[in-house]
Amino acid sequence: MKLIIVENYEEISKLAAINIKDVINKNPNAILGLATGGTPLGTYKELIKMNKENEIDFSKVTTVNLDEYIGLSERNTQSYRYFMNENLFNHVNIKKENTFIPNGLAKDIQEETNNYDKKIDELGGIDIQILGIGTNGHIAFNEPSDFLISGTHLTDLTQSTINANSRFFNSIDEVPKTAITMGLGQIMKSKKILLLAHGENKAEVIKEVLSGNITSKNPATMLQMHKDVTIIVDRTIGDLIKITDI
Ligand code: PGA
């Protein structure tokens, strides 16, 4: 694992966008694994800027997202499809039909999850996967548990995730309790992974990810088994994890 400590959130976003740009410029047909949440927003702003300045062409790019809430339609402003359209897809020259997000309204969830994994495999796998991380170590909606599930699956959200995500909803009661998420096995098949984190509340979990221990109680620790993971954090986390202690 490679750890890069930069000054602040802006620098994290710039560096992540440069990494994505490099992948696309090497392979215009690249498959991007994308994430939602607060963390990647800055990266998406940078990508939009690069696209407007003709530094990246999304016309042949395909994207697959990590997860989607159950029960929210794409018109619901809290759905991850809405988030991606608003924060990236509507502002770059990507073809909407090349953007994939699990369908949280699917009648047959099992079929939806199986097809999602099949689709990713058919595409040839993810070239670069962007990840945020929950303070509890979740990656996508792979929550701490006694065991982890490899493929895309239906999952319950933990109370801590529901609490954390309630900041985007009018009330905590509106936060869905279940979601479809890519599993850790599918995420680990990505050729390259970028994990982004900033702010002091992520310091402890990042320290665990770098600890050398792997536990399903912190799903992100699994990433230590991947051969090409770069973690980009801000100075706040860098100072708090006191890298020499690890
Ligand atoms: P955040 O969420 O980017 O909004 O902090 C990350 C996550 O929960 O995976």
Query: Whose structure tokens read 């801000």?
Result: 234
Active site residue 7: no
Q: Whose CA is nearest to atom 2 of ligand 1?
A: 37
In a domain, 38, yes or no: yes
Q: Is residue 48 part of a domain?
A: yes
Residue 209 resides in a domain: no
Whether 187 is in a domain gets the answer yes
Please say whether the beta carbons of 92 and 158 come within 8 A.
no
Q: What is the pLDDT of residue 146?
A: 96
Residue 210 within a domain: no
Given the residues 67, 117, 127, 234, the one annotated as active site = 67
Q: Which of 19, 136, 204, 226 is catalytic?
A: 136
Is 74 a member of any domain? yes
Domain interval for residue 37: 2-125+139-200+224-235
β-strand 178-181 against 153-156: which pairing, if any?
Answer: antiparallel
Is 101 a pocket residue for ligand 1 (Cβ < 6 Å)? no
* Token couple for 55: 């530094």
- Tell whether 177 is covered by a domain: yes
| Series of mean pLDDT values for 10-residue runs along the chain (246 residues) | 97 98 98 97 98 98 98 95 98 98 97 98 97 96 96 95 92 96 98 98 96 96 97 97 64
Cα of 138 to ligand 1 centre, how many Å?
9
Residue 242 lies in a domain: no
Q: What is the pLDDT of residue 243?
A: 64
pLDDT of residue 242: 79
- How many domains, the chain? 1
Compute the distance from residue 16 Cα to the ligand 1 centre, in Å: 16
Ligand 1 near 163 CB (within 6 A): no
pLDDT at 50: 98
> Is 136 annotated in the active site?
yes
Is 174 annotated as catalytic?
no
- Assign residue 46 the CATH number of its domain: 3.40.50.1360
C-alpha separations of 213 from 187, 217, 221, 246 in Å: 19, 11, 7, 11
Distance separating alpha carbons of residues 47 and 76, to the nearest angstrom: 24
- Catalytic option among 98, 112, 138, 153: 138
